[in-house]
């Protein structure tokens, strides 16, 4: 069985900067591509799962996001299997407003991956910089790793504590997360 690592995007793979609205704004974090390569070489499938409510807010379009992900895919050595996103926002518009099941912390994107790609959760992991990312794995057989490379860490830790979620590991960045994952298999 191929194990899958789900990666958040902003603050995990690229610099957290609010919204990335065009490819030129994308800044892949140092060491991220190498970490992705190490995961791939260790036999993990890689799936990016990301909230992109900028679409519902009218800041960029689905086709802008596709162009951003084309560039990200190149920078990540074309190794991730898929990039799944939630374009919605509860107060959004442009056809993407209202409640949905895919906006993290809901687990919809994980189940999309299961349906579209036939991935299993068992033996896999989820890496993210925000509590919202990690909460999506609640109740699923995924190891959770909180990385400190994005959102202010104290706040995210407090949210996790408030929600009663204990992550399996905390690392400085994706490279540290991969070190731990590969050592603890």
Q: Could you list the active site residues?
A: 8, 10
Among 102, 110, 137, 142, binds Zn ion (CB under 5 A): 102
Stretch touching Mg ion by CB under 5 A, among 92-100, 103-111, 122-130, 162-170: 122-130
Helix (H) / strand (E) containing 169: strand 169-171
8 counts as binding Mg ion under rule CB under 5 A: yes
Of residues 70-99, which lie at the interface with Zn ion (CB under 5 A)? 86, 88
Q: Which residue, 137, 139, 142, 136, is CA-closest to 122?
A: 142
Q: Give me the helices (H) in 2-130, please.
A: 32-41, 62-75, 108-117
Q: Which residue, 83, 76, 67, 79, is CA-closest to 41?
A: 79
Phi and psi torsions of 19, nearest 5° = -120, 135
Site track for Zn ion across 35-64, x = CB under 5 A: ------------------------------
Size of the site for Zn ion (CB under 5 A): 5
Please tell me whether residue 127 adopts helix, strand or coil conformation.
Answer: strand
151 counts as binding Zn ion under rule CB under 5 A: no
Running DSSP on this structure, what letter comes out for residue 178? H
Q: Which does 146 bind (CB under 5 to 8 A by kind): Mg ion, Zn ion, none?
A: none
100 counts as binding Zn ion under rule CB under 5 A: yes
- Residue sitting closest to Mg ion (CB): 11
């Amino acid at each position: 069985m191929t194990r899958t690592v789900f990666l958040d995007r902003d603050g995990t793979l690229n610099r957290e900067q609010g919204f990335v609205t065009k490819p030129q704004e994308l800044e892949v974090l140092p060491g991220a591509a190498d970490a992705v390569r190490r995961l791939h070489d260790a036999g993990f499938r890689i799936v990016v799962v990301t909230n992109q409510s900028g679409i519902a807010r009218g800041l960029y379009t689905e086709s802008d996001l596709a162009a951003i992900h084309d560039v990200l895919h190149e920078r990540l050595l074309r190794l991730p299997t898929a990039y799944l996103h939630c374009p919605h926002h509860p107060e959004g518009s442009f056809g993407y407003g209202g409640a949905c099941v895919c906006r993290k912390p809901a687990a919809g994107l994980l189940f999309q991956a299961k349906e579209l790609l036939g991935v299993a959760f068992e033996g896999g992991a989820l890496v993210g910089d925000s509590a919202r990312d990690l909460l999506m794995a609640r109740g699923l057989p995924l190891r959770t790793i909180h990385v400190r490379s994005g959102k202010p860490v104290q706040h995210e830790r407090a949210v996790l504590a408030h929600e009663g979620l204990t992550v399996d590991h905390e690392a400085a960045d994706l490279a540290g997360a991969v070190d731990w994952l590969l050592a603890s298999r």
